[in-house]
A and B are shown apart, each in its own frame.
Chain A
Amino acid sequence: DADVTQTPRNRITKTGKRIMLECSQTKGHDRMYWYRQDPGLGLRLIYYSFDVKDINKGEISDGYSVSRQAQAKFSLSLESAIPNQTALYFCATSDPRRGSFSTDTQYFGPGTRLTVL
């Protein structure tokens, strides 16, 4: 079984709908991240969480919210989806016990392809 799983893998929705993307991990890592990937722009950080009580905005948090329900679960919500949120979304985890953040290894899930019509 995969260490980092994302559901759903694909989703098509309409403008204005509320959408939740879920991420679960079995790696026992405290740190979790949500990124979006757009062609030609690489990955951009939306939110990150260093433990259950710690939530931080990333580079592009507007229009998104997150919930860290447990160490293993980190959900991303689009309260009112718009077409420019069409993208590939990735969840990732990392383990702070292996050293400083700058040398963290991030483990990515398989991604969720979201299309907003």
Chain B
Amino acid sequence: TQLLEQSPQFLSIQEGENLTVYCNSSSVFSSLQWYRQEPGEGPVLLVTVVTGGEVKKLKRLTFQFGDARKDSSLHITAAQPGDTGLYLCAGSNTGNQFYFGTGTSLTVIP
């Protein structure tokens, strides 16, 4: 089992603040994905990164894949209540499986 650890596990911030969520592993992945899950729903893909050092931006969200392809971060600028949810990272190696991280539960208080 390739364990992906996310930190922090829980995060509660005020609207307008910035935050960073981390996804770390001792294993190398060929790609890393980030999903957001809202209560009562399944996860929805936000982004896929495949190259070490790659940075992708999605409006106020910035995703980075570590140079060694073992870790990733998600940075949210000026968080809004609509950003509230469970953020999951998922890594794929040469096999046919994605290994999901432990999740970060984000609450943005208006």
Taking Cβ atoms with an 8 Å cutoff, the residues of A that contact B are 4, 35, 40-45, 48, 50, 56, 58-59, 90, 92, 101-103, 105-111
Contacts and interface: CB of A to CB of B under 8 A. Distances in A.
B91 to A, nearest CB: 9
A92 B96 contact: no
Given A43-B88, A48-B96, A103-B48, 12 more contacts: A35-B100, A40-B102, A42-B100, A42-B101, A45-B97, A45-B99, A50-B96, A101-B96, A102-B31, A106-B98, A108-B41, A110-B42
Contact of A42 (B50, B96, B97, B102): B102
Interface string B75-96: 0000000000000101011001
Interface of B: 1, 4, 6, 9, 30-31, 40-45, 48, 50, 88, 90, 92-93, 96-103
Contacts, number: 59
B57 to A, nearest CB: 18
User: Which 3 pairs across A and B sit closest by C-beta, in order of nearness?
Assistant: A108-B42, A42-B100, A102-B31
Contacts of B44: 108
B45 A102 contact: no
A58 B88 CA distance: 19
Contacts of B92: 101-102
Contacts of B88: 42-43
A105 B45 contact: yes
A4 B4 CA distance: 26
B41 A111 contact: yes
Contacts of A59: 1, 97, 99
Contacts of A44: 100
Nearest to B40: A110
A35 B35 CA distance: 15
